[in-house]
Amino acid sequence: MKSHFLPHPKKGTRAKLLSPTAFFGYIFFVCSLIFTTKIISLKYPLILGYATNVRVEDLLEYTNLERQQLGLQSLKLDSKLNNAAYSKATDMFSNNYWAHTSPSGVQPWSFIVDSGYDYIYAGENLARDFNNSKSVIKAWMNSPTHRDNIISSNYEQIGFAVVNGKLNGEETTLVVEMFGSLKTPDYLAVNNVEGVKTLIEKDFKAIPIPILNVKTLNRNVSLVIMLFVLFLFILDGLYVWKKGIVRISGNTLAHILILLIAIVGVWYTSLGSIL
């Protein structure tokens, strides 16, 4: 058992779990996982799928909580702004871009005007690849420009879209938050619990949430495997150093360095981005 985790003191070989055979095993295991998850997510999307737990009612609640903490009026959910946000999200998917302005120069305001919302002030926040509503609002609040939109006293209404699709070949959840205030007051926007619930039922199709999220699963499995191999290399390095073993092998410090940077990269891919 010891030889699986520690290098051989006399033969000058690495631990069995760091041998070429073991590495072939890890690579084979990851390749098998790639195909297994692919097949399961295609055949059983409700078990292993892509939908995240970002919900419009939560986004509205957290946005208004931030405003209430500053003594600002709560924003009312507006059907036209919901439609504008949805149009923007589908436009990003169909034209394959991730920006406020489309490659053909279409501004966010076009979607707002096209939805029939005659605005005097308008704003837009975008987010992608977040796992839950709270982390979306937190990321926006940490960015001065997005925060300015959330806590602006110029806005009275708000609309959202949470849409799944493929962007640059990657399964993505886009969140669009549109802010506005009308030139002439409109009393159709709502902020009471019942009104919000009814409007959400009317404007949004329920997205089924799978038991397991593919992205979360892939990230966690990658992290566990990498951390395990990193642990073995650290153990190997410490053991060889402590015992003063002289051997001819690859550079353990370099292996640790590349694994550490790869782990940071894996962790980074789990973070959503905002625009």
Give the binding site for another protein (CB under 8 A).
20, 23-24, 26-27, 30-31, 33-35, 38, 98, 167-171, 214-215, 218-219, 221-222, 225-226, 229, 240-241, 244-255, 257-259, 261-262, 264-266, 268-269, 273
- Residue placing its CB nearer to another protein in the complex, 96 or 198: 96
CA distances to 17, 67, 221 from 262, in Å: 19, 39, 14
What gap in Å lies between CA 273 and CA 275, rounded to an integer? 7
- Residue placing its CB nearer to another protein in the complex, 3 or 68: 3
- Residue placing its CB nearer to another protein in the complex, 193 or 258: 258
- Residue placing its CB nearer to another protein in the complex, 78 or 236: 236
- Minimum distance, C-beta of residue 47 to another protein, in the bound complex (Å): 17
- Minimum distance, C-beta of residue 265 to another protein, in the bound complex (Å): 6
8 Å CB contact between 190 and 76: yes
- Minimum distance, C-beta of residue 27 to another protein, in the bound complex (Å): 5
- Minimum distance, C-beta of residue 273 to another protein, in the bound complex (Å): 6
- Residue placing its CB nearer to another protein in the complex, 182 or 221: 221
What gap in Å lies between CA 193 and CA 213, rounded to an integer? 29
- Residue placing its CB nearer to another protein in the complex, 54 or 266: 266
- Minimum distance, C-beta of residue 23 to another protein, in the bound complex (Å): 4
Which residues on adjacent β-strands are paired with residue 174?
A: 128, 163
- Minimum distance, C-beta of residue 215 to another protein, in the bound complex (Å): 8
- Residue placing its CB nearer to another protein in the complex, 30 or 46: 30
What gap in Å lies between CA 21 and CA 190, rounded to an integer? 63
User: What is the per-residue burial (b if ≥16 Cβ within 10 Å, else e) of 199-226?
Assistant: bbeebbeebeebebbbbeebeeebeeeb
- Residue placing its CB nearer to another protein in the complex, 28 or 198: 28
- Minimum distance, C-beta of residue 121 to another protein, in the bound complex (Å): 28
- Minimum distance, C-beta of residue 125 to another protein, in the bound complex (Å): 17
